[in-house]
Amino acid sequence: MDARRAVNVPELESLARERLTDTAFAYLVGGSGDEHTLRWNVEAWSRIRLAPHFMVDVSAIDTTLRLLGHDLVSPIALAPTAAHRLFHPEGELETVRGAAAAEALYIQSTLATVPVSEVGAAATGPWWFQVYVQRDRGFTRELVARAESAGASALVLTVDLPVLGARDTDRRNEFGLPEGLEYANFRGLPAVADELPPERRVYNPHLDPSICWPDLEWLRSFAGVPVLVKGVLRPDDAVQALDCGADGVVVSNHGGRNLDTVPATADALAGVVTAVDGRVPVLVDGGIRRGTDVAKALMLGASAVLVGRPYVWGLTVDGAAGVKLVVDLLRTELEMAMCLLGARTLAELTENLIWD
């Protein structure tokens, strides 16, 4: 099947599977442990039932929003995901083209396979840079400076990954980047060898397990752009992030890839929104596959959503056009849902439209 004939986002997953090695596909779609959270993420959105208003003039629908200084055409953005050259020969360069074509905000991962300077040079739309703090803080600071000078207009500090979760399939497959690919932003960073056998290995050479809240203040102290915190589930952690100067929070469980049996993000969102109390934008990701999921996230108080796996399926199947297709399908479904809910603007997507 041609990617353009996919009529919804989930259909792209099987198209991507046909084009990838078993190891790359498993890395993309897998979760940790028994993958309960991975499944719950998708299920939790579907469990929320809708309570539409009819007889509303929905002949004009407005999905625009202003987010941290950006005027965006829709609340659908691209989550940071690692190693895009596993999925397309041009890697992140192709993703950033697709994001621009779709007019979607793209958050580039620290673990990109193209250097941030090159991705920034290719960008024609807004993009943010996701930060994994390295043990070498001087290197981390220099990486952030490279991202900012390449045009990143915000930083997203991922806090939920001091170590990797128990990703059984990746360990079975001894997942690693194939010959010829590299984590391009780590050039010049000495490799840390882990001598322990796989069944005793906890730590990861590219993740600093000592990262704590003062590191957010440290990042904030030299960042020239807003800093968001990604990986918040608990309301008290959201408050802590704000106290340390966060300009936004992303409710996320890393797409079910970290600590299995943490709740679905759809279930964690409302608590964080209440704690944040409108002081900064709250974003959410995890399991968003339908326009109705986007609408529900906004009803629960999110300003915008991120999608992860879906746009990587699109990238795999049809490069930049596939990334754009995913955003377009979600945008169209969101507009359909808004028409059918009687919500003409994103602000009209309120909790009142949830059937309780």
Ligand X SMILES: Cc1cc2nc3c(=O)[nH]c(=O)nc-3n(C[C@H](O)[C@H](O)[C@H](O)COP(=O)(O)O)c2cc1C
Give the amino acid at 267: D
Biggest CA-to-CA distance, the chain: 66
- Binding status of residue 140 toward ligand X by CB under 6 A: no
Asked if 230 interacts with ligand X (CB under 6 A), we say: yes
C-beta closer to ligand X: residue 153 or 252: 252
Residue 307 near ligand X by CB under 6 A: yes
Residue 27 beta carbon to ligand X: minimum distance, rounded to whole angstroms:
6
Contact between 109 and ligand X by CB under 6 A: the answer reads yes
- Contacting residue, 291, 301, 308, 314, with ligand X by CB under 6 A: 308
206 binds ligand X (CB under 6 A): no
Rounded distance, CA 25 to CA 87, Å?
9
Q: How far is the CB of 262 from ligand X (least distance, A)?
A: 12
For residues 7 to 26, the per-residue mask of contacts with ligand X, x marking binding by CB under 6 A and - elsewhere, is --------------------
Find the helix packing angle between 9-19 and 22-29, rounded to 10°. Answer: 150
Task: Residue 53: count other Cβ atoms within 10 Å of its Cβ.
Answer: 13
How many beta carbons lie within 10 A of that of residue 138, not counting itself?
8
According to CB under 6 A, which one of 32, 37, 113, 130 is a site residue for ligand X? 130
Of the residues 290, 309, 324, 331, which one makes contact with ligand X according to CB under 6 A: 309
Taking CB under 6 A as the criterion, the residue among 16, 72, 82, 123 binding ligand X is: 82
Give the CB-nearest residue to ligand X.
308
Nearest Cα neighbor of 108 from 142, 158, 73 is: 158
Size (the chain), residues: 356
82 CB-near residues (< 8 Å, 6+ apart): 109, 111, 112, 183
Considering the complex, state which of residue 126 and residue 165 has its C-beta at the smaller distance from ligand X: 165
Q: Binding mask 241-260 vs ligand X (x if CB under 6 A, - otherwise)?
A: -----------x-xx-x---
Burial group, residue 346, by CB count within 10 angstroms (0-12, 13-18, 19+): buried
**Residue 251 C-beta-side C-alpha neighbours within 13 Å:** 36
Q: How many residues bind ligand X (CB under 6 A)?
A: 23
> What is the rounded distance in angstroms from the CA atom of residue 117 to the CA atom of residue 78?
19
Binding mask 23-62 for ligand X (x = CB under 6 A): ----xx------------x---------------------
Q: What is the closest distance, in whole angstroms, from the C-beta atom of residue 266 to ligand X in the complex?
A: 11
| Nearest distance in Å: CB 193, ligand X | 21
Q: Minimal distance in Å, beta carbon 194 to ligand X?
A: 19
Residues numbered 258-297 forming contacts with ligand X, rule: CB under 6 A: 285-288
| 32, 63, 74, 81: residue in contact with ligand X (rule CB under 6 A) | 81
Rounded to whole angstroms, the Cα distance separating 186 from 190 reads 8
88 is catalytic: no
Q: Within positions 143 to 172, which residues make up the interface with ligand X, using CB under 6 A?
A: 158
Do the bridges between strand 227-232 and strand 155-158 make them parallel or antiparallel, or are there none, so unpaired? parallel
Strand 70-72 to strand 49-50: parallel, antiparallel, or no bridges (unpaired)?
Answer: unpaired
Of the candidates 84, 88, 206, 254, the residue annotated as catalytic is 254
Decide whether 41 or 303 has the Cβ nearer to ligand X: 41
Which stretch, 89-97, 167-175, 306-314, 339-347, contacts ligand X (CB under 6 A)? Answer: 306-314
Q: What six digits make up the tokens of 225?
A: 């752009």
**Cα-Cα end-to-end distance for the chain:** 40
Residues 181 and 86: beta-carbon distance below 8 Å: yes
Which residues fall within 8 angstroms of residue 273, CB to CB, at 6 or more apart?
Answer: 282, 300, 301, 302
Strand partners of residue 284? 251, 305
- When the beta carbons of 56 and 181 are compared against ligand X, the nearer one is 181
How many other C-beta atoms can be found within 10 angstroms of the C-beta atom of residue 67? 17
Q: Which residues bind ligand X (CB under 6 A)?
A: 27-28, 41, 79-82, 109, 111, 130, 158, 230, 252, 254-255, 257, 285-288, 307-309
Active-site residue set: 254
